[in-house]
Structure 1
């Protein structure tokens, strides 16, 4: 994945939370913010695409645990969660294998603060969770929003408006 300026981002360590009584470990990737449109979709077998403002990224989707339809259902549920409150955390699973044997889950954490939705790219490190990962509620393993990692590096973040998320949900059914 490349930043908006074409450079390669740096992986930025782990962070922890006291949410749900424990520490959650995620690796985050650094980049540049933007605003505007929003979309996430399956574009071909095993490939997804996310659009946040002027940022567009294609990503591999493992199809051994979930099929494309399950990813889409999970994304719809995660986006609906953002509409439940003015401040909300959710998570779009980008790629998942069986959590019982996997090392990590690739995801796009979503953080709604009033009318703005911040999107980051992360890995949920499964063997460092304090509880079993729930693939139907991945936001339970998502850390609170941070903009700088433990080493002082800026964490990748793109932004869009909640109205763009609502428009996407309405258009995608």
Structure 2
């Protein structure tokens, strides 16, 4: 199961991400992007992954005004045939003027490393590409 959405709780906006039986809810910063821009970025990235245009994409879950932060938090999503791997990443320095350019975030995402390649365990969720296709068509 996969879902990513903007939700409202107690008059505040959050990003809710469901990966199989894990749901993560984090505050959604709206100082640089509005909710429509987050959703458009998610749709574009997932379309690119499902279509095979890109084999790795990022789903941005926190981007702030350049005056507040030069980084971005995102789900790095890697496709290997019908298997999709999710890892949460943080990029310390981005060019805010390019972040919405097609392929820019993907150019910053390093190749996927498995737990065997990390000195410590990395949190990783494994889904089927059909989960993402179903999300696109809901």
TM-score interval, normalised by the smaller of the two chains: 0.7 to 0.9
Q: Is contact 2:48-2:54 (8 Å) kept?
A: no
- Matching of residues 7-156 of structure 1 within 5 Å: 37-44=1-8, 45-85=12-52, 88-99=55-66, 102-126=69-93, 132=95, 134-136=98-100, 137-148=104-115, 152-156=119-123
Q: Is contact 2:13-2:27 (8 Å) kept?
A: yes
Structure 1 residues not aligned, in runs of 5+: 1-36
Is the alpha carbon distance of 1:98 and 1:149 closer, same or farther for their aligned partners in structure 2, counting shifts above 3 Å? farther
Aligned residues: 131
Q: Which has the higher contact order (CA 8 A, sep 6+)?
A: 1
Q: Which runs of 4+ in 1 moved over 3 A?
A: 148-151
Q: Is contact 2:2-2:20 (8 Å) kept?
A: yes
| Residues 16-60 of structure 1: CA deviation (Å, up to 9, x unaligned) | xxxxxxxxxxxxxxxxxxxxx000000114301000111110011
1:99 and 1:106 map into 2 onto residues whose CA distance is 14
Report the TM-score when normalising by structure 1. Answer: 0.69
Shift of 1:76: 0.2
Structure 2 residues not aligned, in runs of 5+: none
SS at match of 1:118: strand
Shift of 1:144: 1.0
Q: Which residue of 1 aligns with 2:129?
A: 162
Is the alpha carbon distance of 1:86 and 1:161 closer, same or farther for their aligned partners in structure 2, counting shifts above 3 Å? farther
Q: Is contact 1:86-1:115 (8 Å) kept?
A: no
